[in-house]
Chains A and B, each alone.
Chain A
């Protein structure tokens, strides 16, 4: 279990000081995949780097398995770090070592005999699906493959925790999905507790059990992913959960435009088809960006009404009685 208690971090330099973390309190249970999401500069990296004390918090305590890391000596800390694996956005592999020797590295450092280290590294490469790349160098791999090597390397010392700082942010959507699947597999089969830092909701969506939303150095909201998604309480969570893209519409053509906003309506109800059937009027869907989370719809949709005044009015009055959230565009 990881417990962060009243964690604070102030970076001070000659040019002033930045408060990167303010009174952060989190408890991460064993075996879960915990997400930390926030916008750029919110303090995500600082937070995750405080967990293994790569960054020393200026106030508060970090407890891992009942041990107060902030009270440990440098030497004791080195030992604890071996139980906390970490992967990064930029992979950070040793470019001059082969893939196999990269995975061996943390084992060599902790004094495992070479032959044993190689055996374990080869097994891990199988786990991440890169057994055939053992003799390659990182420069010969794709981004996704590099991250797999980094994952294997982070798992080499059998850590109980895995910290992932924007581990998929440099990867394309398909590769991201496969890396996240791998992480979930590792969580299930090895029981490794995973902490995922990201600015992308879809990452949280895909693998996390619980999520904390961090905004301007503070935890704005925390809870089960489904709860935060279906009922975001903080402004920042709403902003992150609800799709943000704004479509560009041509105001000079067509009839009136209406924006329908879905704030967790039942996806089982076919709203649009009901509307069209009831009004018997053709409507044009200009734009739609919705997603469903546990049977609830989030997002928005822009409809173009027919040019005929009468037909358009029919739709509007139907909407007024429907209980849906909508507004006239422009």
Chain B
């Protein structure tokens, strides 16, 4: 009985589609969250009082905005961001709108993640670059980001996993993917097997991200050999 319904979903490619949707929403959201969060993280780092270009005003305002968004639980933030999605896309339904809300929810998180990676770069290395006559942009591009790269990648792995969990939550807003299958086909029809398969699939995806991430970090980091 239980397996029958699952087999039906599988034969209709619903599970497979769910996997793909989860993966692609996660990937797209991560990419856009970094396009916004990475520069924000760099600005937070640079405008810090011990930073490359201290600017108390910018740092305080940006820090406040980031903290404000970060302190709101993801689901509530996504609901609150639906109007923003409507403004940007002209619609508040469908995967596009969900991805926009996901990006807005994830970008501040990514910004802090990036900032903390950048803070690991020793101040002395930055100072040495300044002594060589590097401009601030050269320092950011040729010193800061390359030196922080392994840590940025580790941070990216954590962010991606967090974003993956956001995509599952987004099912409650009409997002597709494994989260939605677990709710609609599993929970609402009391199909425990479907729920558990979805859980298992998400765990597998997280593990894969983790393994690929750590491998890349190990390959790129030249410090510990």
Contacts and interface: CB of A to CB of B under 8 A. Distances in A.
27 contacts: A52-B131, A54-B127, A78-B134, A80-B133, A81-B132, A82-B133, A85-B131, A86-B128, A86-B131, A88-B128, A90-B124, A92-B124, A92-B125, A92-B128, A93-B125, A94-B125, A94-B146, A95-B125, A96-B149, A96-B220, A97-B146, A97-B222, A105-B142, A106-B132, A109-B133, A109-B142, A110-B133
Given A85-B131, A139-B223, 18 more contacts: A54-B127, A78-B134, A81-B131, A84-B131, A88-B128, A90-B122, A92-B125, A94-B143, A95-B147, A96-B220, A96-B222, A97-B146, A105-B132, A109-B134, A109-B138, A109-B142, A139-B222, A163-B131
B135 interface: yes
A310 interface: no
A246 interface: no
Interface centre among B122, B125, B220, B221 (most CB of A within 10 A): B125
Contact of B133 (A78, A88, A93, A96): A78
Contacts of B207: none
A105 B131 CA distance: 12
B219 interface: no
A137 B124 contact: no
Contacts of A77: 133
B131 A54 contact: yes
A258 B222 CA distance: 58
B147 A96 contact: yes
Interface in B134-155: 134-135, 138, 142-143, 146-147, 149-150
Contacts of A93: 125
A54 B132 CA distance: 10
B124 A54 contact: no
B130 interface: yes
Interface residues of A, number: 31
Contacts of B1: none
Interface string A136-159: 011110000000001000000100
A311 interface: no
Contacts of B129: 109
A85 B124 CA distance: 15
Interface centre among B131, B150, B222 (most CB of A within 10 A): B131
A108 interface: yes
A96 B146 contact: yes
A111 to B, nearest CB: 11
Contacts of B220: 96
**Closest 5 CB pairs between A and B?**
A81-B133, A92-B128, A86-B131, A92-B124, A137-B222
A320 interface: no
Interface in A112-156: 137-140, 150
Nearest to B150: A96
A82 B132 contact: yes
Interface in A26-82: 52, 54, 77-82
Interface residues of B, number: 25
Contacts of B222: 95-97, 137-139
Contacts of A79: 133
A157 B132 contact: yes
Contact of B142 (A81, A85, A108): A108
A124 B1 CA distance: 76
A283 to B, nearest CB: 52
B224 interface: yes
Contacts of A94: 125, 143, 146-147
B96 to A, nearest CB: 38
Nearest to A79: B133
A92 B133 contact: no
Contacts of A78: 133-135
A309 B15 CA distance: 105
A85 B132 CA distance: 7
Contacts of B146: 94, 96-97
A3 B132 CA distance: 20
Contacts of A109: 129, 132-134, 138, 142
B225 A140 contact: yes
A24 B35 CA distance: 49
Contact of B127 (A92, A137, A150): A92
A81 B224 CA distance: 32
B223 A54 contact: no
A85 to B, nearest CB: 8
A78 B142 CA distance: 16
Contacts of B142: 105, 108-109
Nearest to B145: A96
Nearest to B136: A74
B218 to A, nearest CB: 14
Nearest to B146: A96
Contacts of A95: 125, 147, 222-223
A207 B146 CA distance: 37
Interface string B30-49: 00000000000000000000
Contacts of B143: 94
